[in-house]
Amino acid sequence: MDNKIYCIGCGVEIQSEDPKKQGYLPKNVVEKSEDSQLVCKRCFRLKNYNEVSDVELGADDFYQLIKSLSKKDALIAKVVDIFDFSGSWIEDVVDIVGNNKDIVLIANKLDLLPKSVKQNKIKQWLFKVLKEKGIKVKDILLVSAIKNQGVEEAAVRLDQLRNGKDVYIIGATNVGKSTFINKLIELTSGDKNVITTSHFPGTTLGMIEIPLDRATSIYDTPGIILDYDIAHYLDAKSLKLVMPKKEIKARIFQLNAEQSLFFGGMARMDFVKGERQSFTLYASNLVEIHRTKLSNADALFEKHLGQMLKPPFEDNISIFGKQVRKSFKIDNRKTDIVISGLGWITVNSDSGCKIDILVPEEIEVFVRESII
């Protein structure tokens, strides 16, 4: 017997177990309803409050969803968190939707970067990453959804680029996709009643539709949790410290070779070789940095992980107990070593140096030309 109920808005199966997953509706609402014309909480919020909220998909379902986009003649707007940018996920998505799609990259959370970061440098860096990966995008738009910076310009640009077609907005969880779409809704819907949710017959993909005009729409899609991002492994208490809320302040350390810096207990930088020089750290202001001699670093980590070296906290060490060494040879150009989800270290070395980053294997670490 099939007693499953589907949301009449987005078509996904209604469930009452997990508020973060798609199709959620509290049990008492489901039980009280007399017919099967139910909408999930996400569609309900859109319909009644003109507000989208993020829901998560498992990786398989997410890639299935992305795959379905490859068949549509539409503009795909990919939202990324500029502070927590990982090229890998862009690559994955483009592999699936194909390189002949119209893609625009929306880099959000501009407000978190120090004011000294030049916007054109960020754009250059992003274009370079995409080029190296062989990915073509129509444009890169820098915004701060929360501060409403660049959102109006982005709306105008999206409208030009879509050329009368639909727009699908995709993004990983926490990049600010909902915040961005909600700002777009505010801008585009003079008449708040235009917001509807509509069902894709024959699919259970959980996209929801926000009409732009009579013929075309923006579609909000569920997000995915990326497993190479530090945020994936931290509990709520730790995330509050690690995800910056305010503009990041640079922290400068003068180090000799064979000194180490700990980012809480999440990552460690070993200055292996090179002349005395300064290292500038950019991470949430609430993450404590500890300095020690390289020769003491292992022992310190073993003794203090979860206590002095936190986050992570003692009761939830997760993957952080086991670190691997990722080595980087830095030349004399100003370089950022980026630890996905945590921040970056700017190295400005006259004569080059050797740096090791110790992190759990799962966490992505990469270098880029400095954006400062």
Compute the least distance from the CB of residue 174 to ligand GDP, in Å: 5
What ranges in the chain are assigned the alpha helix state H? 27-32, 41-49, 59-69, 87-97, 119-132, 151-162, 177-188, 236-242, 294-304
Site residues, ligand GDP (CB under 6 A): 54, 108-109, 111-112, 144-146, 171, 173-179, 223
Residue corresponding to tokens 């915040």: 179
> Contact, 59 vs 224, CB < 8 A?
yes
Closest CB to ligand GDP among residues 157, 290: 157
For strands 335-339 and 277-283, give the pairing: unpaired
Nearest residue (CB) to ligand GDP, 178 versus 260: 178
Pair 106, 80: CB distance under 8 Å: yes
Quick one: 88 or 292, whose CB is closer to ligand GDP?
A: 88
Q: Nearest Cα to 172, choosing from 371, 364, 372, 370?
A: 364
Least CB distance to ligand GDP at residue 176 (A): 3
The separation between CA 105 and the C-alpha centre of its own chain, rounded to angstroms, equals 12
User: What would the two tokens of residue 89 be?
Assistant: 């996920």
Q: By the 8 A CB rule, do 76 and 104 touch?
A: yes
Q: Which residue is nearest to ligand GDP (CB)?
A: 176
Residue 223 CB, nearest distance to ligand GDP (Å)? 5
For residue 203, the minimal CB distance to ligand GDP (Å) is 21
- Min. distance of Cβ 107 from ligand GDP in angstroms? 10
In the bound complex, what is the minimum distance in angstroms from residue 148's beta carbon to ligand GDP?
Answer: 9
Q: For ligand GDP, which is the closer residue by CB, 210 or 255?
A: 210
Question: In one letter, which amino acid is 37?
Answer: Q
Residue 119 CA to residue 302 CA, distance in Å, equals 40
Q: Whose Cβ is closer to ligand GDP: residue 235's or residue 361's?
A: 235
Instruction: Name which of 184 and 345 has its Cβ closer to ligand GDP.
Output: 184
Largest CA distance in the chain: 74
